Amino acid sequence: MSDELLTHEEDGILVMTINRPEAKNAMTKAASEAIAAALDRLDAEDHLRVGILTGAGGTFCSGMDLKGFLRGESPSVPGRGFGGLTEKKPAKPLIAAVEGYALAGGLELMIACDLVVASVSAKFGIPEAKRGLAAAAGGLMVLPDLIPHKVAMELALTGEFITAQRAYELGMINRITEGSALDGAMELARAINANGPLAVRISKQIMEESRGWPRDKRYEEQAKLLPKVFMSEDAREGSLAFAEKRSPNWKGR
């Protein structure tokens, strides 16, 4: 794996750190491919239950590496999108831990994550128009689904930044931390980890996929996925653990 992405495991959590602090973690093709490989590993290894994506050196990601762009390099992975993430998410939960700036493609990486924990000093924006470019990795399509349309329009057309507090008020991020965003993300990841992994994964799948289901077919489509949860060993274990006043011993099946 490229040294442009560092990974480590802790308590079933895979932490992925974009490691280009000298370039404000601007995204390269090598870093994108490394993120895609790490996300494949997150989904493939049963003992891993939650992923965290963050950046080294006090910045999340400043977007596409413009020097690479001028050389003709694309910081995307076919079928996976920018940063190996924006077009295909992992099946397991992914949290963004944001320090400093999440700009342009960096913001698009962030909103591709399921949950976001940000430092109180973090800043967010899609300033591509200032460089004669467009936020083509989800900023123009996904952001209006997450925040009011007119606010998303203003961000896209002006390229201006917003604060962590404003992002929280808009519902773009989940939690603001006074201290380390990664510490806050680890706390959130552990809260998820305490739950049945199969229930978590299927719940995420339903919440993602149901946005595209016809309204009159939603319960019908959901019913195709729910037996994987309700007929599982974990469903019985969760009920037994509750009755016996103990912590569940999840199997993920």
What does the H/E/C string look like for 32-73? HHHHHHHHHHHHHCCCCCEEEEEECCCCCECCECHHHHHCCC
Q: How many domains does the chain have?
A: 2
Q: In the prediction, which pLDDT does 73 show?
A: 84
Tens-of-pLDDT digits for all 253 residues of the chain? 579 999 999 999 999 999 999 999 999 999 999 999 999 999 999 999 999 999 999 999 999 998 887 887 889 999 999 999 999 999 999 999 999 999 999 999 999 999 999 999 999 999 999 989 999 999 999 999 999 999 999 999 999 999 999 999 999 999 999 999 999 999 999 999 999 999 999 999 999 999 999 999 999 999 999 999 999 998 998 988 899 898 998 988 8
Q: What is the CATH number of the domain that holds 52?
A: 3.90.226.10
Answer whether residue 135 is part of any domain.
yes
Of 205, 196, 200, the residue nearest 252 (C-alpha): 196
Q: In the prediction, which pLDDT does 27 show?
A: 95
Domain coverage including residue 155:
5-193
Q: Are residues 211 and 122 in the same domain?
A: no
pTM of the full structure: 0.93
Using CA atoms, how far apart are residues 86 and 249, in angstroms rounded to an integer? 33
Q: Are residues 147 and 86 in the same domain?
A: yes
Q: In the prediction, which pLDDT does 2 show?
A: 75
Q: Where in the sequence numbering do the catalytic residues fall?
A: 108, 128
Q: In the prediction, which pLDDT does 1 show?
A: 56
Answer whether residue 249 is part of any domain.
no
**Domain ends where: 152, 173, 193?**
193
Beta strands in the chain (DSSP E): 5-10, 13-18, 50-55, 76-77, 81-82, 94-98, 101-103, 115-119, 123-125, 162-163, 175-177
The Cβ of residue 225 has, within 10 Å, a number of other Cβ atoms equal to 14
Q: Are residues 115 and 204 in the same domain?
A: no
Of 20, 1, 7, the residue nearest 52 (C-alpha): 7
Q: Are residues 188 and 201 in the same domain?
A: no
Q: Pull the structure tokens for residue 55.
A: 């950046």
Answer whether residue 34 is part of any domain.
yes
